Structure 1
Amino acid sequence: MIEDIWIDPAVAELRPDFAVLAMGVYGLRNGPADDRSRVWLAEAAEKAVTAGDPKVEAWREAYRAFGAKPQRTRPSVDALVRRMPLPEINLVVDAYNAISVRHGLPIGGEDLAHYEGTARLVRAAGDEPFDVVEKGEPAIDHPEIGEVVWRDDRGVTCRRWNWRQCVRTRITEETVDALFLLERLAPMSVEELRAAGDELAALLEEITPGVRVESRLVAAAGSPT
Protein backbone atom coordinates (compact mmCIF):
# COMPACT_ATOMS: atom_id res chain seq x y z
CA MET A 1 0.00 0.00 0.00
CA ILE A 2 2.72 2.48 0.97
CA GLU A 3 4.59 1.76 -2.27
CA ASP A 4 1.85 3.50 -4.27
CA ILE A 5 1.49 6.72 -2.24
CA TRP A 6 2.12 9.84 -4.31
CA ILE A 7 2.18 13.63 -4.16
CA ASP A 8 0.47 15.71 -6.84
CA PRO A 9 2.94 17.98 -8.69
CA ALA A 10 0.55 20.87 -7.94
CA VAL A 11 1.20 20.31 -4.22
CA ALA A 12 4.93 19.94 -4.77
CA GLU A 13 4.89 23.28 -6.57
CA LEU A 14 3.44 24.93 -3.44
CA ARG A 15 6.05 23.45 -1.12
CA PRO A 16 8.93 21.66 -2.87
CA ASP A 17 10.46 21.02 0.58
CA PHE A 18 7.55 18.76 1.57
CA ALA A 19 8.18 15.11 2.40
CA VAL A 20 6.06 12.49 4.12
CA LEU A 21 7.24 9.38 5.92
CA ALA A 22 4.54 6.81 5.26
CA MET A 23 4.40 3.94 7.74
CA GLY A 24 2.28 0.85 7.20
CA VAL A 25 1.70 -0.95 10.50
CA TYR A 26 0.11 -4.40 10.56
CA GLY A 27 -1.25 -6.50 13.42
CA LEU A 28 -1.93 -3.79 16.01
CA ARG A 29 -3.80 -4.59 19.19
CA ASN A 30 -5.07 -1.16 20.15
CA GLY A 31 -6.94 -0.35 23.32
CA PRO A 32 -8.04 2.46 25.61
CA ALA A 33 -5.56 4.91 27.11
CA ASP A 34 -3.73 3.48 30.11
CA ASP A 35 -0.89 4.34 32.46
CA ARG A 36 1.68 3.84 29.69
CA SER A 37 0.08 6.29 27.32
CA ARG A 38 -0.51 8.78 30.13
CA VAL A 39 3.24 8.80 30.73
CA TRP A 40 3.88 9.33 26.99
CA LEU A 41 1.52 12.28 26.93
CA ALA A 42 2.89 13.83 30.12
CA GLU A 43 6.50 13.54 28.96
CA ALA A 44 5.57 14.93 25.55
CA ALA A 45 3.88 17.93 27.18
CA GLU A 46 7.10 18.70 29.07
CA LYS A 47 9.21 18.52 25.89
CA ALA A 48 6.72 19.86 23.36
CA VAL A 49 7.60 22.57 20.87
CA THR A 50 5.77 25.87 21.24
CA ALA A 51 3.29 27.40 18.83
CA GLY A 52 6.03 29.86 17.86
CA ASP A 53 8.48 27.18 16.82
CA PRO A 54 9.75 27.66 13.23
CA LYS A 55 8.59 24.13 12.35
CA VAL A 56 5.03 25.03 13.35
CA GLU A 57 5.19 28.40 11.59
CA ALA A 58 6.24 26.60 8.39
CA TRP A 59 2.87 24.85 8.40
CA ARG A 60 0.98 28.10 8.84
CA GLU A 61 2.86 29.44 5.82
CA ALA A 62 1.94 26.32 3.84
CA TYR A 63 -1.73 26.83 4.66
CA ARG A 64 -1.62 30.44 3.49
CA ALA A 65 -0.05 29.25 0.22
CA PHE A 66 -3.28 27.49 -0.80
CA GLY A 67 -5.62 30.13 0.61
CA ALA A 68 -6.44 28.71 4.05
CA LYS A 69 -6.44 30.90 7.16
CA PRO A 70 -4.36 29.06 9.80
CA GLN A 71 -5.84 31.13 12.62
CA ARG A 72 -9.28 29.67 11.82
CA THR A 73 -8.36 26.12 10.77
CA ARG A 74 -5.04 25.35 12.39
CA PRO A 75 -2.51 22.79 11.17
CA SER A 76 -2.84 19.70 13.35
CA VAL A 77 0.42 20.16 15.24
CA ASP A 78 -0.37 23.84 15.87
CA ALA A 79 -3.72 22.87 17.37
CA LEU A 80 -2.15 20.14 19.52
CA VAL A 81 0.59 22.27 21.07
CA ARG A 82 -2.06 24.83 22.08
CA ARG A 83 -4.15 22.11 23.74
CA MET A 84 -1.99 21.02 26.68
CA PRO A 85 -2.47 18.73 28.47
CA LEU A 86 -2.99 16.43 25.51
CA PRO A 87 -6.31 14.57 25.52
CA GLU A 88 -6.44 10.81 26.03
CA ILE A 89 -7.95 9.09 22.97
CA ASN A 90 -6.62 5.54 22.71
CA LEU A 91 -3.20 3.91 22.88
CA VAL A 92 -2.26 4.35 19.22
CA VAL A 93 -3.55 7.92 18.86
CA ASP A 94 -1.91 8.90 22.14
CA ALA A 95 1.38 7.48 20.84
CA TYR A 96 1.43 9.50 17.64
CA ASN A 97 0.13 12.67 19.29
CA ALA A 98 3.01 12.46 21.77
CA ILE A 99 5.54 12.17 18.93
CA SER A 100 3.82 14.99 17.04
CA VAL A 101 4.20 17.63 19.75
CA ARG A 102 7.74 16.61 20.68
CA HIS A 103 8.94 17.13 17.13
CA GLY A 104 6.59 19.83 15.82
CA LEU A 105 5.46 17.31 13.23
CA PRO A 106 1.92 16.72 11.89
CA ILE A 107 1.05 13.01 12.03
CA GLY A 108 -2.08 11.43 10.63
CA GLY A 109 -3.36 7.92 11.34
CA GLU A 110 -5.67 5.97 9.02
CA ASP A 111 -7.45 2.66 9.58
CA LEU A 112 -6.60 0.59 6.51
CA ALA A 113 -9.70 -1.58 6.93
CA HIS A 114 -11.75 1.46 5.89
CA TYR A 115 -9.33 2.83 3.31
CA GLU A 116 -10.02 2.36 -0.39
CA GLY A 117 -7.19 2.43 -2.93
CA THR A 118 -4.07 4.55 -2.87
CA ALA A 119 -3.34 7.44 -0.53
CA ARG A 120 -2.41 10.61 -2.42
CA LEU A 121 -1.92 14.28 -1.58
CA VAL A 122 -3.66 16.50 -4.16
CA ARG A 123 -5.27 19.88 -4.84
CA ALA A 124 -9.01 19.35 -4.52
CA ALA A 125 -11.47 19.78 -7.36
CA GLY A 126 -14.10 20.73 -4.78
CA ASP A 127 -16.63 17.97 -5.40
CA GLU A 128 -14.92 15.20 -3.45
CA PRO A 129 -16.97 13.77 -0.55
CA PHE A 130 -15.70 14.25 3.00
CA ASP A 131 -17.70 12.46 5.68
CA VAL A 132 -18.19 14.21 9.00
CA VAL A 133 -20.58 14.24 11.96
CA GLU A 134 -22.71 17.35 12.40
CA LYS A 135 -25.01 17.73 15.39
CA GLY A 136 -24.54 14.03 16.12
CA GLU A 137 -25.59 12.90 12.64
CA PRO A 138 -23.49 11.65 9.69
CA ALA A 139 -23.08 14.26 6.98
CA ILE A 140 -21.10 14.86 3.80
CA ASP A 141 -18.94 17.96 3.38
CA HIS A 142 -16.69 19.02 0.48
CA PRO A 143 -13.28 20.72 0.31
CA GLU A 144 -12.74 24.05 -1.36
CA ILE A 145 -11.39 24.15 -4.91
CA GLY A 146 -7.59 24.08 -4.77
CA GLU A 147 -7.45 22.98 -1.15
CA VAL A 148 -4.62 20.56 -0.33
CA VAL A 149 -6.16 17.25 0.77
CA TRP A 150 -5.27 13.66 1.39
CA ARG A 151 -7.66 11.32 -0.38
CA ASP A 152 -8.28 7.73 -1.43
CA ASP A 153 -10.53 6.27 -4.14
CA ARG A 154 -13.68 6.96 -2.11
CA GLY A 155 -13.07 10.58 -1.14
CA VAL A 156 -11.15 13.02 1.04
CA THR A 157 -9.58 11.45 4.12
CA CYS A 158 -8.04 14.64 5.56
CA ARG A 159 -8.85 18.24 4.69
CA ARG A 160 -6.46 21.20 4.51
CA TRP A 161 -3.36 19.01 4.45
CA ASN A 162 -3.65 17.85 8.08
CA TRP A 163 -6.39 19.95 9.66
CA ARG A 164 -9.35 17.60 9.98
CA GLN A 165 -9.69 13.85 9.36
CA CYS A 166 -12.79 12.17 8.00
CA VAL A 167 -14.82 9.91 10.29
CA ARG A 168 -14.50 6.83 8.06
CA THR A 169 -10.77 6.18 8.44
CA ARG A 170 -10.14 7.27 12.03
CA ILE A 171 -8.00 5.07 14.27
CA THR A 172 -10.22 3.33 16.82
CA GLU A 173 -9.68 0.69 19.49
CA GLU A 174 -10.66 -1.90 16.87
CA THR A 175 -7.97 -0.84 14.37
CA VAL A 176 -5.61 -3.66 13.38
CA ASP A 177 -3.80 -2.38 10.28
CA ALA A 178 -2.96 1.31 9.99
CA LEU A 179 -1.27 3.91 7.83
CA PHE A 180 0.63 6.74 9.52
CA LEU A 181 1.65 9.87 7.62
CA LEU A 182 4.44 11.92 9.21
CA GLU A 183 4.64 15.22 7.31
CA ARG A 184 7.76 17.34 7.06
CA LEU A 185 8.52 20.86 5.91
CA ALA A 186 11.77 22.78 6.29
CA PRO A 187 13.33 23.62 8.70
CA MET A 188 12.73 20.08 9.98
CA SER A 189 15.48 17.84 8.63
CA VAL A 190 14.81 14.52 6.97
CA GLU A 191 16.99 12.95 9.68
CA GLU A 192 14.65 14.25 12.39
CA LEU A 193 11.66 13.01 10.38
CA ARG A 194 13.14 9.50 10.26
CA ALA A 195 14.01 9.66 13.97
CA ALA A 196 10.39 10.54 14.78
CA GLY A 197 9.29 7.55 12.73
CA ASP A 198 11.62 5.31 14.72
CA GLU A 199 10.20 6.69 17.98
CA LEU A 200 6.65 6.02 16.81
CA ALA A 201 7.55 2.48 15.76
CA ALA A 202 9.04 1.86 19.21
CA LEU A 203 5.83 2.98 20.96
CA LEU A 204 3.70 0.85 18.64
CA GLU A 205 5.97 -2.11 19.41
CA GLU A 206 5.34 -1.45 23.11
CA ILE A 207 1.60 -1.53 22.46
CA THR A 208 1.84 -4.68 20.32
CA PRO A 209 5.10 -6.66 20.59
CA GLY A 210 6.01 -8.12 17.21
CA VAL A 211 3.90 -5.65 15.20
CA ARG A 212 5.05 -5.40 11.57
CA VAL A 213 6.15 -1.95 10.37
CA GLU A 214 7.03 -0.86 6.84
CA SER A 215 8.09 2.67 5.96
CA ARG A 216 8.79 4.73 2.85
CA LEU A 217 9.86 8.34 2.42
CA VAL A 218 7.86 10.13 -0.28
CA ALA A 219 9.27 13.51 -1.28
CA ALA A 220 8.01 16.42 -3.35
CA ALA A 221 10.19 17.63 -6.19
CA GLY A 222 13.42 19.07 -4.89
CA SER A 223 12.95 17.80 -1.34
CA PRO A 224 16.04 16.07 0.02
CA THR A 225 15.78 12.34 0.79
Structure 2
Amino acid sequence: MEAGLIDLEWLNSASVADGVFRLRPDYRALLVLAEGLVPGSSDALSDQLLSDAELKIARKLDGRRPEELEELAAWREAYRAFGAKPQRTRPSVEALVRRVDAGLPRIDRITDTYNAISVAHLLPLGGEDADKYVGPPQLARATGEEEFETFAEGQPVIESPKTGEVVWKDDAGVTCRRWNWRQSTRTHIGDRTVRALFILDGLLDVTAASELMTAGEELQAALARFSPQARFASRLLAP
Protein backbone atom coordinates (compact mmCIF):
# COMPACT_ATOMS: atom_id res chain seq x y z
CA MET A 1 0.00 0.00 0.00
CA GLU A 2 1.31 3.44 -0.89
CA ALA A 3 0.76 6.28 1.48
CA GLY A 4 1.97 9.12 -0.74
CA LEU A 5 -0.42 12.01 -0.49
CA ILE A 6 -3.07 9.97 1.29
CA ASP A 7 -4.68 11.92 4.14
CA LEU A 8 -3.91 9.44 6.90
CA GLU A 9 -4.71 11.95 9.64
CA TRP A 10 -8.29 12.28 8.35
CA LEU A 11 -8.69 8.52 8.01
CA ASN A 12 -7.28 7.87 11.48
CA SER A 13 -9.74 10.33 13.02
CA ALA A 14 -12.75 8.27 11.88
CA SER A 15 -14.73 6.70 14.71
CA VAL A 16 -17.54 4.38 15.75
CA ALA A 17 -19.45 5.34 18.90
CA ASP A 18 -19.64 2.92 21.82
CA GLY A 19 -23.42 2.96 21.50
CA VAL A 20 -23.18 1.28 18.11
CA PHE A 21 -20.93 -1.46 19.44
CA ARG A 22 -23.36 -2.04 22.30
CA LEU A 23 -26.02 -2.76 19.68
CA ARG A 24 -23.77 -5.16 17.77
CA PRO A 25 -20.52 -6.07 19.54
CA ASP A 26 -19.57 -8.09 16.45
CA TYR A 27 -19.68 -5.02 14.18
CA ARG A 28 -16.56 -3.99 12.30
CA ALA A 29 -16.06 -1.24 9.72
CA LEU A 30 -13.31 -1.35 7.14
CA LEU A 31 -12.62 2.09 5.70
CA VAL A 32 -10.77 2.38 2.40
CA LEU A 33 -9.61 5.83 1.30
CA ALA A 34 -8.72 6.15 -2.38
CA GLU A 35 -7.03 9.16 -3.96
CA GLY A 36 -6.24 9.69 -7.64
CA LEU A 37 -9.33 7.92 -8.99
CA VAL A 38 -10.33 8.45 -12.61
CA PRO A 39 -14.12 8.86 -12.73
CA GLY A 40 -16.13 7.91 -15.77
CA SER A 41 -19.20 6.23 -17.18
CA SER A 42 -19.84 2.53 -16.77
CA ASP A 43 -17.47 0.58 -19.00
CA ALA A 44 -16.56 -2.97 -19.97
CA LEU A 45 -14.54 -3.53 -16.79
CA SER A 46 -17.28 -2.42 -14.41
CA ASP A 47 -19.93 -4.23 -16.44
CA GLN A 48 -17.99 -7.49 -16.16
CA LEU A 49 -17.60 -7.05 -12.41
CA LEU A 50 -21.36 -6.61 -12.04
CA SER A 51 -22.11 -9.55 -14.34
CA ASP A 52 -19.79 -11.80 -12.33
CA ALA A 53 -21.45 -10.69 -9.08
CA GLU A 54 -24.92 -11.32 -10.53
CA LEU A 55 -23.95 -14.86 -11.51
CA LYS A 56 -22.31 -15.59 -8.15
CA ILE A 57 -25.28 -14.48 -6.06
CA ALA A 58 -27.83 -16.15 -8.36
CA ARG A 59 -26.06 -19.45 -7.76
CA LYS A 60 -25.93 -18.84 -4.00
CA LEU A 61 -29.63 -18.00 -3.84
CA ASP A 62 -30.60 -21.09 -5.83
CA GLY A 63 -34.28 -20.22 -5.63
CA ARG A 64 -34.24 -18.92 -2.06
CA ARG A 65 -35.49 -15.49 -1.04
CA PRO A 66 -32.73 -12.96 -0.27
CA GLU A 67 -33.71 -12.69 3.38
CA GLU A 68 -33.07 -16.42 3.78
CA LEU A 69 -29.33 -15.85 3.34
CA GLU A 70 -27.72 -15.68 6.77
CA GLU A 71 -25.67 -12.58 5.89
CA LEU A 72 -28.80 -10.61 4.95
CA ALA A 73 -30.82 -12.00 7.86
CA ALA A 74 -28.13 -10.77 10.27
CA TRP A 75 -28.33 -7.25 8.88
CA ARG A 76 -32.09 -7.31 9.24
CA GLU A 77 -31.59 -8.08 12.92
CA ALA A 78 -29.08 -5.24 13.22
CA TYR A 79 -31.67 -2.86 11.77
CA ARG A 80 -34.35 -4.05 14.18
CA ALA A 81 -31.98 -3.41 17.08
CA PHE A 82 -32.31 0.36 16.59
CA GLY A 83 -35.99 0.34 15.65
CA ALA A 84 -35.86 0.21 11.85
CA LYS A 85 -38.20 -2.01 9.84
CA PRO A 86 -35.94 -3.82 7.33
CA GLN A 87 -38.85 -5.05 5.24
CA ARG A 88 -39.55 -1.37 4.45
CA THR A 89 -36.08 0.19 4.54
CA ARG A 90 -33.69 -2.57 3.58
CA PRO A 91 -29.95 -2.81 4.22
CA SER A 92 -28.12 -1.67 1.09
CA VAL A 93 -26.74 -5.10 0.20
CA GLU A 94 -30.20 -6.69 0.38
CA ALA A 95 -31.62 -3.97 -1.85
CA LEU A 96 -28.94 -4.78 -4.43
CA VAL A 97 -29.42 -8.54 -4.20
CA ARG A 98 -33.13 -8.07 -4.86
CA ARG A 99 -32.24 -6.43 -8.19
CA VAL A 100 -30.04 -9.25 -9.43
CA ASP A 101 -32.76 -11.00 -11.46
CA ALA A 102 -33.54 -7.81 -13.38
CA GLY A 103 -29.86 -6.83 -13.54
CA LEU A 104 -27.85 -4.66 -11.19
CA PRO A 105 -27.87 -0.95 -12.11
CA ARG A 106 -25.03 0.43 -14.21
CA ILE A 107 -24.37 3.92 -12.79
CA ASP A 108 -20.71 4.89 -13.19
CA ARG A 109 -17.55 2.86 -12.97
CA ILE A 110 -16.69 3.80 -9.39
CA THR A 111 -20.20 3.05 -8.10
CA ASP A 112 -20.50 -0.07 -10.25
CA THR A 113 -17.23 -1.36 -8.80
CA TYR A 114 -18.20 -1.05 -5.15
CA ASN A 115 -21.71 -2.38 -5.82
CA ALA A 116 -20.22 -5.46 -7.45
CA ILE A 117 -17.92 -6.11 -4.48
CA SER A 118 -20.84 -5.59 -2.09
CA VAL A 119 -22.99 -8.21 -3.83
CA ALA A 120 -20.15 -10.68 -4.39
CA HIS A 121 -19.26 -10.67 -0.68
CA LEU A 122 -22.79 -10.12 0.67
CA LEU A 123 -21.83 -7.16 2.80
CA PRO A 124 -22.97 -3.53 2.78
CA LEU A 125 -20.47 -1.28 1.00
CA GLY A 126 -20.91 2.40 0.28
CA GLY A 127 -18.80 5.01 -1.44
CA GLU A 128 -18.65 8.74 -0.73
CA ASP A 129 -16.83 11.71 -2.24
CA ALA A 130 -14.23 12.36 0.46
CA ASP A 131 -13.68 15.94 -0.69
CA LYS A 132 -17.26 16.79 0.25
CA TYR A 133 -16.80 15.75 3.87
CA VAL A 134 -16.61 18.34 6.64
CA GLY A 135 -14.53 16.71 9.32
CA PRO A 136 -14.01 12.96 9.80
CA PRO A 137 -16.52 10.14 9.25
CA GLN A 138 -18.35 9.04 12.40
CA LEU A 139 -20.81 6.21 13.00
CA ALA A 140 -23.14 7.04 15.89
CA ARG A 141 -26.67 6.94 17.28
CA ALA A 142 -28.49 10.01 16.01
CA THR A 143 -29.76 12.75 18.30
CA GLY A 144 -32.56 13.48 15.84
CA GLU A 145 -31.34 17.01 15.20
CA GLU A 146 -28.80 16.22 12.45
CA GLU A 147 -29.47 17.30 8.87
CA PHE A 148 -29.65 14.82 6.00
CA GLU A 149 -29.70 16.16 2.44
CA THR A 150 -31.70 14.06 0.00
CA PHE A 151 -34.36 14.23 -2.71
CA ALA A 152 -38.12 13.75 -2.35
CA GLU A 153 -40.43 13.78 -5.36
CA GLY A 154 -37.56 15.09 -7.46
CA GLN A 155 -36.84 18.05 -5.22
CA PRO A 156 -33.93 18.60 -2.80
CA VAL A 157 -35.04 18.39 0.82
CA ILE A 158 -33.46 18.25 4.25
CA GLU A 159 -34.62 15.51 6.58
CA SER A 160 -33.59 14.45 10.06
CA PRO A 161 -33.00 10.91 11.30
CA LYS A 162 -34.98 9.47 14.16
CA THR A 163 -33.47 9.66 17.63
CA GLY A 164 -31.33 6.59 18.20
CA GLU A 165 -31.02 5.74 14.52
CA VAL A 166 -27.57 4.47 13.52
CA VAL A 167 -26.07 6.96 11.07
CA TRP A 168 -22.80 7.78 9.42
CA LYS A 169 -22.14 11.48 9.70
CA ASP A 170 -19.51 14.22 9.62
CA ASP A 171 -19.43 17.63 11.26
CA ALA A 172 -21.99 19.03 8.79
CA GLY A 173 -24.65 16.35 9.05
CA VAL A 174 -25.64 12.82 8.16
CA THR A 175 -23.87 11.18 5.23
CA CYS A 176 -25.78 7.88 5.34
CA ARG A 177 -28.98 7.02 7.20
CA ARG A 178 -29.87 3.75 8.94
CA TRP A 179 -26.34 2.41 8.97
CA ASN A 180 -26.15 1.80 5.22
CA TRP A 181 -29.64 2.37 3.86
CA ARG A 182 -29.50 5.69 1.98
CA GLN A 183 -26.60 8.03 1.24
CA SER A 184 -26.76 11.80 1.33
CA THR A 185 -26.81 13.74 -1.91
CA ARG A 186 -24.21 16.06 -0.36
CA THR A 187 -21.42 13.48 -0.40
CA HIS A 188 -22.49 11.17 -3.21
CA ILE A 189 -19.96 10.08 -5.82
CA GLY A 190 -20.21 12.02 -9.07
CA ASP A 191 -18.45 12.54 -12.37
CA ARG A 192 -15.78 14.72 -10.69
CA THR A 193 -14.97 12.41 -7.81
CA VAL A 194 -11.23 11.72 -7.61
CA ARG A 195 -10.97 11.08 -3.86
CA ALA A 196 -13.40 8.63 -2.30
CA LEU A 197 -14.10 6.96 1.00
CA PHE A 198 -15.47 3.43 0.89
CA ILE A 199 -17.12 1.91 3.97
CA LEU A 200 -17.40 -1.87 4.23
CA ASP A 201 -19.76 -2.95 7.01
CA GLY A 202 -19.19 -6.36 8.57
CA LEU A 203 -20.93 -8.44 11.24
CA LEU A 204 -18.51 -11.06 12.52
CA ASP A 205 -21.36 -13.45 13.34
CA VAL A 206 -21.77 -14.02 9.59
CA THR A 207 -18.75 -12.39 7.92
CA ALA A 208 -15.26 -13.33 9.07
CA ALA A 209 -12.75 -10.53 9.53
CA SER A 210 -10.64 -12.15 6.81
CA GLU A 211 -13.59 -11.94 4.40
CA LEU A 212 -13.98 -8.25 5.17
CA MET A 213 -10.30 -7.63 4.48
CA THR A 214 -10.43 -9.70 1.26
CA ALA A 215 -13.36 -7.61 0.04
CA GLY A 216 -11.35 -4.45 0.75
CA GLU A 217 -8.37 -5.78 -1.19
CA GLU A 218 -10.57 -6.77 -4.14
CA LEU A 219 -12.13 -3.31 -4.13
CA GLN A 220 -8.72 -1.64 -4.32
CA ALA A 221 -7.54 -3.97 -7.09
CA ALA A 222 -10.68 -3.35 -9.13
CA LEU A 223 -10.46 0.42 -8.76
CA ALA A 224 -6.78 0.35 -9.73
CA ARG A 225 -7.64 -1.32 -13.05
CA PHE A 226 -9.10 1.95 -14.35
CA SER A 227 -7.15 4.25 -12.03
CA PRO A 228 -3.57 2.92 -12.20
CA GLN A 229 -2.14 5.96 -10.40
CA ALA A 230 -4.55 5.70 -7.48
CA ARG A 231 -3.24 5.45 -3.92
CA PHE A 232 -5.03 3.62 -1.14
CA ALA A 233 -5.05 3.43 2.62
CA SER A 234 -7.33 1.41 4.86
CA ARG A 235 -8.32 1.24 8.51
CA LEU A 236 -10.36 -1.30 10.47
CA LEU A 237 -12.62 0.15 13.16
CA ALA A 238 -13.32 -2.22 16.06
CA PRO A 239 -14.25 -1.90 19.75
TM-score over 0.5 (shorter chain) = yes
Distance in 2 separating the partners of 1:105 and 1:134: 27
Of 52, 77, 91 in structure 2, the residue corresponding to residue 43 of structure 1 is 52
The alpha carbon displacement at 1:135 in A equals 2.0
Report the counterpart of residue 83 of structure 2 in structure 1.
67
Q: What is the CA deviation profile of residues 192-218 of structure 1, one whole-angstrom value per residue up to 9, with x for unaligned ones?
A: 000000100001100100210000111
Deviation of 1:88 after TM superposition, in Å, equals 0.3
2:188 is equivalent to residue 179 of structure 1:
no
Instruction: Give yes or no for the alignment of 1:81 onto 2:105.
Output: no
The reply to whether residue 199 of structure 1 matches residue 218 of structure 2 is yes
Using the aligned pairs only, state the percent identity. Answer: 50
Q: Which residue of 2 aligns with 1:168?
A: 186
Of 25, 42, 58, the residue aligned with 2:34 is: 25
TM-score by length of 1: 0.96
> One-letter code of the match for 2:167?
V
Partner in structure 2 of residue 113 of structure 1: 131
Runs of 4+ in 1 over 4 A off after TM superposition: none
Task: Give, in angstroms, the shift of residue 2 of structure 1.
Answer: 1.3
Within 5 Å, give how 1:91-170 maps onto structure 2. Answer: 91-170=109-188
Aligned residues: 220
C-alpha RMSD of the superposition = 0.9
Task: Give the Cα separation in 2 of the matches to 1:109 and 1:37.
Answer: 15
Contact 2:37–2:229 (8 Å) recurs in 1:
no
Structure 2 counterpart SS, 1:162: coil
- Matched to 1:74, the amino acid is R
Structure 1: state its 5+ residue gaps: none
The one-letter code matched in structure 2 to 1:34 is D
Q: TM-score, normalised by structure 2?
A: 0.90
Quick check: 2:149–2:156 contact (8 Å CA) kept in 1?
yes
What is the aligned partner in structure 1 of residue 7 from structure 2?
none
Matches of 1:7 and 1:136, distance apart in 2: 32
Moved more, 135-144 or 122-131: 135-144
Contact 2:114 2:125 in 1 (8 A): yes
